[in-house]
């Protein structure tokens, strides 16, 4: 099963069910020719797992509980740079009172292509910083912050409100002073100046974007190479006209911009030689609608399942799933330590023996069980596999 949107193809390669757990092999490919996928490509919070409509109806009205009962973990197995394809392994589990049933529906509305991280100086000379345009705001216009002083500390039994909403605070007027080191248009140095003998640096950011810049971390580098963190940071929000909003009169949906104002207690007469530094990341990605059905009972020709208990040097290989991406093994052991991850793994094909790599996964020392995966260097034609070789033990693989 596969689907395409925004030039990205999502395809289910194979799946296998083990009681209340399923292992699903999934690929993403950029078929647009833009080669947007990277080794950092991820779904993050855009990924969903749920039953299809028919399975939900058969669940006797327990749809909400069933959808909420799923958990999953994902692992990137292989990135084919030549075809711009990423292969993933998903381990999906369900609670005992809401077992897995066919078919499952996997989907996503977000795909993150890449993450670029920065730790760089901001191209601003601090030696020329003087007084600047400021505004006086009520406490209600301070939406939050970090390391706030006592007179701005949150109170009234709520983590959203400063103690005194009417007390006035002087902050920088929002503007567009300088670009950030990453050069993205969604974030900038809004203003910088000296207020009451302290250095204030205000950043601006465009809100309500799925991708782009993360919240910035600012510090000052001294002439001696030491770093000074801000005393505290104020969170402010502005409307489309850059007017700072009051939390008693507005909510986050009214905001267009977020301003973070960092305050530094340093000798403002000796700023020459200090450097303003930025740390943060920029994400790229795409919105879309990807949805594929996974039949857990259909291993297809792309999967081989071995359920015989295979003993190898004190380890029992109970479930082995061979897919184009490698070998998934679930088993148990009798010794003090599990040595399965260090075993030599290979597959025998009509054209020769192909070694497998990895052996990563999870162990349960109390139950003495393991769930491990060995990867191929390139996608494997499972139909050509005649045997799995574990150390010196050859395990024949029957064709479907």
- Ordered DSSP codes for 242-269: -PBPPTTT--GGG-SEEEEEEEE-S-GG
Give the mean pLDDT per block of 10 residues along the chain (400 residues).
Answer: 94 78 87 95 83 50 46 82 89 73 85 95 89 88 85 47 62 96 96 94 94 95 95 95 90 93 92 94 95 74 79 91 85 91 91 86 89 83 90 84
pLDDT, position 96: 64
Residue 199: C-alpha distances to residues 10, 252, 340 (Å) = 50, 28, 58
Residues 320/326, Cβ–Cβ less than 8 Å: no
Q: What residues form DSSP beta bridges with 346?
A: 355, 389
pTM higher than 0.85, yes or no? Answer: no
Token digits of residue 65: 């509980």
In whole angstroms, what is the distance from residue 260 CA to residue 234 CA?
A: 6
pLDDT, position 123: 93
Residue boundaries of the structural domains of the chain: 1-117+283-298, 130-270, 299-400
Q: Where are the alpha helices (DSSP H) in the chain?
A: 53-58, 63-68
299-400 CATH fold? Immunoglobulin-like (2.60.40)
Q: Same CATH fold, 299-400 and 1-117+283-298?
A: yes
Residues 345/374, Cβ–Cβ less than 8 Å: yes
3-state secondary structure of 98: coil
pLDDT, position 320: 87
In whole angstroms, what is the distance from residue 186 CA to residue 389 CA?
A: 53
In whole angstroms, what is the distance from residue 122 CA to residue 279 CA?
A: 10
Q: Does domain 1-117+283-298 have CATH number 2.60.40.1630?
A: yes
Contacts of 209 (CB under 8 A, 6+ apart): 186
**CA 210 from centroid of its chain's CA atoms:** 13
Token digits of residue 332: 């148990």
pLDDT, position 64: 40
- Strand 85-93 to strand 71-80: parallel, antiparallel, or no bridges (unpaired)? antiparallel
Contacts of 204 (CB under 8 A, 6+ apart): 174, 176, 187, 188, 189, 190, 238, 257, 258, 259
pLDDT, position 71: 78
| 273 φ/ψ sector (left φ>0, alpha ψ -120 to 50, else beta) | left
pLDDT, position 288: 94
pLDDT, position 21: 76
């Amino acid at each position: 099963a596969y689907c395409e949107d925004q030039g990205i193809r999502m395809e289910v390669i194979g799946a296998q069910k083990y009681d209340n757990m399923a292992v699903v092999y999934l690929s993403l490919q950029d078929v647009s020719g833009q080669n947007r996928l990277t080794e950092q490509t991820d779904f993050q919070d855009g990924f969903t797992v749920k039953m299809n409509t028919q399975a939900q109806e058969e669940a006797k009205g327990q749809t909400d509980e069933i959808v909420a009962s799923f958990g999953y973990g994902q692992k990137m197995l292989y990135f084919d740079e030549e075809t711009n394809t990423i292969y993933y392994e998903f381990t999906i589990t369900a609670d005992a009172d809401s077992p897995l049933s066919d078919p499952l529906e996997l989907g996503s509305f977000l795909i993150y292509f890449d993450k670029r991280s920065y730790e760089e100086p901001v191209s601003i000379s601090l030696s020329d910083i003087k007084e600047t345009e400021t505004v006086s705001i009520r406490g209600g216009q301070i939406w939050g912050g970090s390391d706030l002083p006592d007179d701005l500390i949150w109170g009234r039994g709520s983590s959203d409100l400063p103690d005194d909403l009417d007390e006035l605070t002087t902050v920088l007027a929002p503007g567009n002073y300088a670009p950030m080191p990453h050069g993205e248009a969604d974030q900038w140095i809004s203003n910088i100046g000296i207020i009451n003998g302290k250095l204030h640096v205000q950043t601006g950011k465009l809100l309500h974007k799925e991708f782009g810049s993360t919240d910035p971390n600012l510090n000052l580098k001294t002439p001696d190479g030491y770093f000074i963190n801000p005393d505290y940071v104020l969170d402010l929000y502005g409307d489309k006209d850059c007017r700072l909003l009051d939390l008693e009169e507005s909510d986050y949906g009214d905001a267009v911009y977020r301003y973070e104002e960092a305050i530094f207690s340093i000798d403002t007469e000796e700023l020459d030689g200090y450097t303003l530094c930025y740390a943060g990341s920029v994400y790229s990605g795409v919105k879309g609608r990807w949805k594929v059905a996974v039949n857990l009972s259909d291993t297809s020709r792309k999967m081989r399942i071995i359920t015989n208990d295979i003993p190898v040097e004190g380890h029992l290989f109970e479930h082995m799933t061979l897919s184009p991406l490698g070998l998934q093994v679930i088993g148990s052991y009798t010794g003090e330590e599990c040595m399965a991850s260090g075993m030599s793994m290979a597959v025998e094909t009509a054209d020769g023996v192909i070694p497998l790599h990895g052996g990563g996964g999870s162990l349960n020392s109390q139950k003495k069980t393991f769930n491990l995966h060995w990867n191929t260097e390139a996608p494997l034609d499972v139909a050509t596999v005649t045997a799995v070789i574990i150390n010196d033990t050859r395990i024949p693989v029957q064709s479907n």
